[in-house]
Amino acid sequence: LGQLVGLRWRDGAGGPGGTGDALPADIHVLALERVSHRFHARRSAQERSYLYQIARRRTAFLKPFVWWIKDALDADRMRRAAPLFRGLHDFRSFTHDDPEEKSTEVLLERLELADAGDLMLLRIQGSHFVWKMVRRVVGVLADAVARRR
């Protein structure tokens, strides 16, 4: 992942060298770079990526981080259906956002599925995402390929 954060740093404020010491143990600063004062980590991003995880079996430890689907999913059918979402599309039916207030057209560059043991990983990359769009795209794909028990 290429996660970025914007910090305003005043000269003489201790320097950025010790920045990582004040962060939680699971967050690491890999590099620091001076940028224009107009840079904004979210608004300046040229693309966004989302990793959605579907569990194939119940899991106590991953429960807050995955969507467990009881029905068997056909990963091959899911892979064949994924390209239908790629490209520039109007995702107004995948969000509560008002298309009169902000654009619901999204350019999806990538929607790929990978197997990782008991997890199915869906990587979605696009120009931006509208509210709840990713979970609804994944939901439609899962529902379309579920083999009901």
Q: What is the DSSP letter of 39?
A: -
pLDDT at 16 over 80: no
23 or 121: which leads in pLDDT: 121
Mean per-residue pLDDT over the chain, rounded: 84
Query: What pLDDT does 14 receive?
Result: 53
Q: For 31-45, how does the pLDDT look when each residue is reduced to its tens digit (9 = 90+)?
A: 777 888 887 777 777
Q: For 45-99, how does the pLDDT look when each residue is reduced to its tens digit (9 = 90+)?
A: 777 888 999 998 888 888 889 999 888 888 899 999 999 999 999 999 999 888 7
pLDDT at 134 over 90: yes
- Give the mean pLDDT of 132-147: 90
Closest CA to 85 of 131, 138, 37: 138
Considering only 69-73, 85-89, 107-111, 129-133, which range has the smallest mean pLDDT?
A: 69-73
Angstrom distances, CA of residue 98 to CA of 53, 105, 106, 138 = 28, 12, 14, 21
The reported pTM is 0.74
pLDDT at 146 over 90: no
Q: Using CB atoms within 10 Å of the CB of residue 126, give its burial: 0 to 12 exposed, 13 to 18 middle, 19+ buried.
A: buried
E strand segments, the chain: 48-55, 67-68, 72-73, 87-90, 105-116, 119-126, 146-147
Query: What pLDDT does 27 receive?
Result: 78
